[in-house]
Amino acid sequence: MSNSLSCISVVIIAKNSESIIKRCLNSLIDFREVILYLNDCDDKTKVVASSYQNVKIFEGSFTGFANTKKKAISYASNDWILSIDSDEVLSASLINSLKQVSLNTNTVYSFQRISYYKKKKIKFSGLYNEQVVRLFNKQTTNFDNSLVHEKVNRTDLSVVVLNGYIDHFTYLSISDLIQKTDSYSTLYSNQHTKKSSPLIAIVKSLFFFIKTYIFRLGFLDGYVGFLIAYSGSTGVFYKYLKLYEKNDNL
């Protein structure tokens, strides 16, 4: 049992996060140890991060989200791991909750994530009020083996929801959105061996758009809601086409 930030290591993986990493690290100044694992950076992320005394920088290759995060976690000196992304910022209310919580090794901890497109908060589109499990004891559990959309294994573990939230600046521009769509669809196709076809790609992408824009009320997010629904459906379309090409050796 513990109730101090000193026993928690914050772990981040990052690639070319110069534009956002300062905002992320500024929210972590109360932690004694922040592990930043850089993957093939060619911008000034390392230079920016080097000015923070509580940040320890390591470098290595990206081998999928789960395995790369587990590699970064291996450098943490504490057993308690708070895993966040370089485009996420902890709120003061969440930090206060972390200061007060009595940590239990048979428990993982979740909290709310609020997503943004540029500076606009996303209130619908299936991204509002997300609950993400990010705090856990590495002697008890860790991430699964997924290349993308990785999750903390929580079988037989209790989940406690903490007060507070993180701001997730998931897309900083159209170009950023396109790049992530292409990257994630490639990782998905590499991870799966299921059968696919152009027809499956079309049907699934249309279903995603309708589900996100209509049933998840994406239209209430205006332009941003349409962008999320359309780009998401495009990502679904391409991941199933990439899967089709991989399986058929085209």
pLDDT of 250 reads: 60
User: What pLDDT was estimated at residue 111?
Assistant: 97
CA 79 to chain centre: 20
pLDDT at 182: 93
* Structural domain includes residue 140: yes
- Mean pLDDT, to the nearest integer, of 68-88? 98
Phi then psi for 189, rounded to 5 degrees?
A: -65, -30
Residue 119: inside a domain, yes or no? no
Query: Which residues form the domain of 61?
Result: 5-104+134-154
Q: What is the pLDDT of residues 33-62, one digit of tens each?
A: 999 999 999 999 999 999 999 999 999 999
Domain shared by 53 and 85, yes or no: yes
3-state secondary structure 76-95: CCCCEEEECCCCEEECHHHH
Instruction: Report yes or no on 161 lying in a domain.
Output: no
**Is residue 180 domain-shared with residue 83, that is, in the same domain?**
no
Q: How many domains does the chain divide into? A: 2
DSSP letter for 172, please: S
Residue 118 falls within a domain, yes or no? no
Asked, for residue 163, whether it belongs to a domain, the answer is: no
Give the residue with greater pLDDT, 4 vs 172: 172
Q: Where are the beta strands (DSSP E) in 42-153?
A: 55-59, 80-83, 88-90, 107-117, 120-121, 130-137
pLDDT of residue 219: 97
Residues 27, 149 within the same domain: yes
180 plus 86 within the same structural domain: no
Residue 64 CB-density burial (10 A; 0-12 exposed, 13-18 middle, 19+ buried): middle
Q: What Cα–Cα distance (Å) separates residue 141 from each residue in 33, 54, 105, 178? A: 20, 25, 9, 33
CB atoms within 10 A of CB 202: 15
How confident is the prediction for the chain on average, in pLDDT? 94
Q: Which residues pair with 14 in a beta bridge?
A: 38
- How many DSSP H helices and E strands does the chain contain? 7, 9
Q: pLDDT tens across 101-149, in order?
A: 999 999 999 999 999 999 999 999 999 889 999 999 999 999 999 999 9
Whether residue 9 is predicted with pLDDT greater than 80 in this model: the reply is yes
Neighbouring-strand partners of residue 114: 167
Q: Which H or E run includes 167?
A: strand 158-171
Q: Which of 121, 154, 187 is a domain's end point?
A: 154
Q: Is 48 exposed, middle or buried (0-12, 13-18, 19+ CB in 10 A)?
A: middle
Split at pLDDT 50, 70, 90, the class of 197 is very high
213 and 139 fall within a common domain: no
Q: How far apart are CA 170 and CA 158, in angstroms?
A: 28
Mean pLDDT calculated for residue range 150-167:
96
At residue 249, the pLDDT reads 60
Instruction: Please determine, for residue 2, whether its predicted confidence score (pLDDT) is greater than 80.
Output: no
Residue 159 forms part of a structural domain: no
* Rounded distance between C-alpha atoms, residue 32 and residue 231, angstroms: 39
Q: How far apart are CA 209 and CA 216, in angstroms?
A: 10
- Please say which residue of 92, 126, 154 terminates a domain: 154
Strands 158-171 and 130-137: unpaired
pLDDT value for 4 = 77
- Statement: residue 3 has pLDDT above 70: no
Backbone angles phi, psi at 58, to 5 degrees: -130, 160
CATH of the domain at 141: 3.90.550.10
Q: Are residues 199 and 89 in the same domain?
A: no
What average pLDDT score do residues 9-21 get? 96
Cα-flanking dihedrals φ and ψ of residue 52, to 5°? -100, 120
